[in-house]
């Protein structure tokens, strides 16, 4: 009998589906791809086959069901269809798991109902994740479907850090608390950092800086998350590509009452037209670094505001942890932007933090240390791999791992 050693990882967004087929025996990825612009006039499917060949299909995908059927057909064309006996499970990224989902969970009707109940706190994300699960279940009803939650790793954050200082009755009625996101990445990177240092995660305190288009920091004590910068929604915390991060809530009242902006307009402003984009018109750090280099004042301000917030969280989490063994930079900006890493850590020798300029400038896809030997805190670049983490968690849950 063929052994089921593969996991299909699905990440269904509001208008896109990303997927990777991962073989858990050797870590290879026989196929991967994405469908974009679902529900729009012109969709696109990009599929990478086992031999590395890329097939692109341009056609409308009216809904997620159509998109996932097309993905299933692409996989089948490579002999990797959803009916293949090698498939052990489908792992779904689910953004919001609330307080209930603290670990990867086998999807049942009851679990789906609970994920649906969380839609009011994740209106942009959970509906697409739910659709992805429903469609995948319909295509292969007998196959284990595992939900892996972005919030799960943060459910260990103590109550005094998770609660906002508001009336608990009101907060509880509306499920208002700090949940945190990017948990799968923070968890993966915290563990990968321990591996890089040859240490047991249980004996390591790490500050993980996930700096992508969305960005968040977390404080991880002995493998357990004790604080993170995103809150009820992914808007809180660091300056991001298009999100403001921390802001005085009074700004919202002011813009509404005095500025005449509606709540929806302010929502759009803070989530989609703020952060780096709002400050300088670009949200790509490459472009900002290039412009700042040429002396562009707006780009320089955006860079400095971004780094200033990062340093505040670095210092804050240092105090939260008491002892820091490592700082790990990850995601698009964290893995690639040496000037951000340098500016975030400069002048912190008193805290035992130093970065070696030469090591920092090395470009590599591998996890690597960028601090000199004398640095008490190890500073590292640790590429994230959320898909692999989802696959591993799903595989372990279905008892195959
Ligand atoms: P997402 O949150 O969309 O998953 P990523 O983790 O892929 O984001 O990060 C995307 C961001 O990474 C880009 O917007 C860009 O700012 C940044 N980035 C990617 N490559 C580089 C690079 N070589 N130098 C600086 N920034 C980069």
Instruction: Report the pLDDT value the prediction gives residue 144, as an integer from 0 to 100.
Output: 96
Would you state the pLDDT for residue 121? 86
340 lines ligand 1 (CB under 6 A): no
Closest residue by Cα to atom 19, ligand 1, is: 332
Cβ–ligand 1 contact at 31 (below 6 Å): no
Residue numbers annotated as active site: 150
Q: Which residues contact 165 (CB under 8 A, 6 or more apart)?
A: none
Output the CA 275–ligand 1 centroid distance in Å.
14
Predicted pLDDT at 147: 98
- Ligand 1: does its nearest atom lie under 6 Å from the Cβ of 211? no
Distance from Cα 331 to the centre of ligand 1, integer Å? 7
Residue of 13, 181, 212, 242 best suited for mutating to test ligand 1, as the one with most atoms within 8 Å of CB: 212
Distance 149 CA to ligand 1 centre (A): 22
pLDDT for 125 beyond 80: yes
pLDDT of residue 352: 98
pLDDT score for 14: 82
What is the pLDDT at residue 341? 98
Calpha distance 169→174 (Å, rounded) = 9
91 has a pLDDT exceeding 90: yes
Find out whether the beta carbon of 332 lies less than 6 Å from any atom of ligand 1. Answer: yes
**Helix-strand-coil split of the chain, %, nearest 5:** 40, 20, 40
Contact 116, 108 (CB under 8 A): no
Mean pLDDT of the 9-35 span: 94
At residue 401, the pLDDT reads 56
Instruction: List C-alpha distances in Å: 217 to 156, 180, 239, 241, 260.
Output: 15, 10, 11, 15, 33
For 83: left if phi > 0, alpha if psi spans -120 to 50, otherwise beta; the answer is alpha
Q: Is 286 in the pocket of ligand 1 (CB under 6 A)?
A: yes
Handedness of CA 343, 335, 98, 115 (dihedral sign): positive
Q: What is the pLDDT of residue 124?
A: 80
Please check the confidence at residue 1 and state whether its pLDDT lies above 70: no
- CB under 8 Å to 141, separation ≥6 — which residues? none
**Which of 36-40, 133-137, 353-357 has the largest mean confidence?**
353-357
pLDDT tens digits, 171-225: 999 999 999 999 999 999 999 999 999 999 999 999 999 999 999 999 999 999 9
pLDDT of residue 13: 86
Q: Is 336 in the pocket of ligand 1 (CB under 6 A)?
A: yes
CA 97 to centroid of ligand 1, rounded, Å: 26
Span from the CA of 69 to the centroid of ligand 1 (angstroms): 30
Which CATH fold topology does 198-386 show? Answer: Nucleotidyltransferase; domain 5 (3.30.420)
- Positive or negative: CA dihedral 183, 189, 193, 194: positive
- Residue range 358-399, pLDDT digits in tens: 999 999 999 999 999 999 999 999 999 999 999 999 999 998
Q: Do domains 6-149 and 198-386 have the same CATH topology?
A: yes
Atom of ligand 1 nearest to the CA of 384: 6
Q: What's the pLDDT at 293?
A: 97
Q: Where on the phi/psi map is residue 245: left (φ > 0), alpha (ψ -120 to 50), or beta?
A: left
Indicate the top mutation candidate among 210, 213, 303, 340 to test ligand 1's pocket, ranked by most ligand atoms within 8 A of CB. Answer: 213
Superfamily of domain 6-149: ATPase, nucleotide binding domain (3.30.420.40)
Instruction: Write out the two tokens for 102.
Output: 């603290």
Q: Could you identify the atom of ligand 1 that is nearest to the CA of residue 210? A: 6
Closest listed residue to residue 5, CA positions, set 19, 21, 20, 23: 23
Q: Quick one: pLDDT at residue 58?
A: 96
Mean pLDDT to the nearest integer, 257-277: 97
Name the average pLDDT for the chain: 96
Going by CA atoms, what residue is nearest to atom 23 of ligand 1? 336
Which residue ranges make up each domain of the chain? 6-149, 198-386
Arithmetic mean of pLDDT, 314-328: 98
Residue 37 has pLDDT above 60, yes or no: yes
User: 214 CB less than 6 Å from ligand 1?
Assistant: yes
CB of 239 closer than 6 angstroms to any ligand 1 atom: no
The H or E element spanning position 69 is helix 64-77
């Amino acid at each position: 009998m063929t052994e089921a050693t593969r996991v299909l990882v699905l990440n269904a967004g509001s208008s896109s589906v990303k997927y990777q087929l991962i073989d858990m025996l050797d870590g290879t990825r026989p196929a991967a791809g994405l469908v974009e612009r679902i529900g729009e006039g012109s969709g696109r499917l990009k599929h990478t086959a086992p031999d590395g060949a890329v097939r692109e299909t341009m056609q409308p995908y009216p809904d997620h069901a159509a998109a996932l059927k097309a993905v299933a057909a692409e996989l089948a064309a490579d002999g990797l269809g959803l009916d293949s006996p090698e498939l052990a499970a489908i792992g779904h990224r689910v953004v919001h798991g609330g307080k209930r989902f603290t670990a990867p969970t086998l999807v049942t009707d009851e679990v789906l109902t609970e994920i649906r109940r969380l839609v009011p706190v994740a209106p942009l994300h959970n509906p697409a994740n739910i659709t992805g699960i429903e469609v995948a279940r319909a295509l292969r009803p007998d196959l284990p479907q595992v939900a892996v939650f972005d919030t799960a790793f943060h459910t260990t954050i103590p109550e005094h850090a998770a609660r906002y200082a508001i009336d608990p009755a009101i907060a509880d009625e509306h499920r208002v608390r700090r949940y945190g996101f990017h948990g799968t990445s923070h968890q993966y990177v915290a563990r990968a950092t321990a591996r890089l240092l040859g240490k047991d995660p249980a004996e390591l305190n790490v500050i993980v800086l996930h700096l992508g288009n969305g960005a968040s920091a977390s404080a991880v004590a002995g493998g357990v998350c004790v604080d993170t910068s995103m809150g009820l929604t992914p808007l809180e915390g660091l300056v991001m590509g298009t999100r403001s991060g921390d802001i005085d809530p009074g700004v919202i009242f002011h813009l509404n009452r005095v500025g005449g902006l509606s709540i929806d307009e302010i929502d759009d402003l803070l989530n989609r037209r703020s952060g780096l984009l709002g400050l300088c018109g670009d949200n790509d750090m490459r472009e900002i670094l290039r412009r700042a280099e040429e002396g562009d004042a707006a780009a320089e301000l955006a860079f400095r505001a971004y780094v200033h917030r990062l340093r505040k969280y670095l210092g804050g989490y240092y105090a939260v942890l008491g002892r820091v063994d490592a700082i790990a930079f990850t995601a698009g900006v964290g893995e690639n932007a040496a000037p951000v890493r340098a500016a975030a850590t400069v002048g912190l020798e008193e805290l035992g933090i130093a970065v070696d300029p030469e090591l920092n400038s090395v470009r590599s896809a591998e996890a690597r240390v960028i601090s000199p030997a004398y640095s008490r805190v190890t500073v590292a670049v640790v590429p994230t791999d959320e898909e692999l983490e989802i696959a591993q968690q799903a595989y372990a849950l279905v008892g195959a791992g």
